[in-house]
Amino acid sequence: MDFKIALIRGDGIGPEVVGEAVKVLDAVGERFGHTFTYTDVLLGGCATDAVGKSYPDGTAEKCKACDAVLLGAVGGPKWGSDRPAEERPETALLAIRRDLGLYANLRPAALRPAMADACPLKKETAEQGIDLLMVRELTGGIYFGQREKYQTEDRGMECADRMAYSEMEIERIGRRAFELARLRRKKVSSVDKANVLETSRLWRSVMHRLAEEYPDVAYEDVLVDNCAMQLVRAPGQFDVVVTENMFGDILSDEASMVTGSIGLLPSASIGDSAPGLYEPIHGSAPDIAGQDKANPIATILSVAMMMRYSFHLEAEASAIEAAVDGVLADGWRTADIAEAGVTPIGTKQMGDLICQKLRA
């Protein structure tokens, strides 16, 4: 089959890791008889440098003309918070997610078999296995609410950020979570703060209604503070964890660390229609950019998610994951995941080894 993929290489290590992921896509194409064609899309700090805006006009249209979008990372100290909003890379990320209608952010946190020793939790906890999928609402809540900033008479400046959720927004993300759980271990943990927040009480009532529609899926409510604790105490208890935007932002970072390295973790953002956006969870890592040190695995596993969720190519997705696990099992490590005494390999060599496994 033929697929069109938009490539947002971005800033810092973005172009390096996307370069390796494209090699992997080509290897998948060869092995399974698909043709992937690429369209480069400018977004982030590099776009600000080129055209004065981090989110150039027509960006969403270019992406919508493709079947999926692969993004490296954007941002860096050069385009900091002192810049006007339209020049900041973060603005572009929020804008593209909104314009593509990507309301569900999927972040698997799975301990890869060859990397069990990298888990910072107790050995017994790691041995129980960690394989969860965080499903974060991505286009609502406090990150998209009205912001206010005003001077008070007696308390100095005051700021406010509004958090709002509609039943429609909660129901569509909730449904995604139950559908995804059916493909996995059939358990949904819904995270809220219903003992305090009105939005959470609405969240919980919608989730309970959905739970009745999916009697084959086990369901539980978890308060966000308890969830933060459980992720460190016993992450093996979770399968699909669904939550609102800000809670999900924080908890997904926490969940990712229990698996050992930021350089290994992929993500997907999807809506009701194509294209989905696939990207590593890490940022542009300016400290190691341009040095052939970045771990490309997170981006390569994002391509596996693209195969699974946008193209419904499960064999191709599994082949990529098996190739990554194979290279790790052979002992190859980039610097970020190298144990003491292991000589690390570079970004390009890691990409080449994964392609070799795919072709073998």
Instruction: Note the residues at the interface with ligand NAI (CB under 6 A).
Output: 13, 17, 73-76, 93, 262-263, 279, 282-288, 294-295, 298, 336
Buried b vs exposed e over 199-212: b needs ≥16 C-beta within 10 Å?
A: bbebbbebbeebbe
Q: Which stretch binds Mg ion (CB under 5 A): 151-159, 201-209, 217-225, 241-249?
A: 241-249
Buried b vs exposed e over 335-359: b needs ≥16 C-beta within 10 Å?
A: bbbeeeeeebbbbebbbbbbbebbe
CB 81 to ligand NAI: min, Å = 10
**Helix H or strand E segment including 319:** helix 314-329
CB 283 to Mg ion: min, Å = 9
Q: Which is nearer to ligand NAI, 8 or 206 (CB)?
A: 8
Q: Which does 292 bind (CB under 5 to 8 A by kind): ligand NAI, Mg ion, none?
A: none
CB 271 to ligand NAI: min, Å = 17
CB 142 to Mg ion: min, Å = 14
**Edge-to-edge strand list for the sheet holding 276-280:** 35-40, 2-10, 68-73, 276-280, 266-270, 104-110, 131-137, 240-243, 187-192, 218-223
For the annotated binding site for substrate, the residues are 97, 107, 136, 225
Annotated catalytic, 143? yes
Residue 21, both tokens: 């992921």
Q: Which is nearer to Mg ion, 207 or 264 (CB)?
A: 264
Q: Which does 76 bind (CB under 5 to 8 A by kind): ligand NAI, Mg ion, none?
A: ligand NAI
Q: Which is nearer to Mg ion, 131 or 249 (CB)?
A: 249
**Helix H or strand E segment including 251:** helix 245-257
Annotated catalytic, 216? no
Q: Which does 249 bind (CB under 5 to 8 A by kind): ligand NAI, Mg ion, none?
A: Mg ion
Residue 298 three-state SS: helix
**DSSP 8-state symbol, 77:** G
For the annotated binding site, the residues are 97, 107, 136, 225, 249, 253, 283-295
List 53, 64, 99, 143, catalytic entry: 143
Residues that bind Mg ion (rule: CB under 5 A) add up to a total of 1
90 binds Mg ion (CB under 5 A): no
Q: Please list the residues that pair with 35 across neighbouring strands.
A: 2
Q: Which is nearer to ligand NAI, 211 or 285 (CB)?
A: 285
Q: Which does 20 bind (CB under 5 to 8 A by kind): Mg ion, ligand NAI, none?
A: none
Determine the Cα–Cα distance for residues 151 and 156; give it in Å rounded to an integer.
6
Q: Rg of the chain's alpha carbons, rounded to an integer?
A: 20
Q: Which is nearer to Mg ion, 248 or 271 (CB)?
A: 248
254 binds Mg ion (CB under 5 A): no
Cα torsion at 259, 262, 263, 264 (round to 10°)?
30
CB 131 to ligand NAI: min, Å = 21
Annotated catalytic, 253? yes
265 phi and psi, to 5 degrees?
A: -105, 125
249 binds Mg ion (CB under 5 A): yes
Residues that bind Mg ion in the complex, under the rule CB under 5 A? 249
User: Annotated catalytic sites, by residue?
Assistant: 143, 193, 225, 249, 253
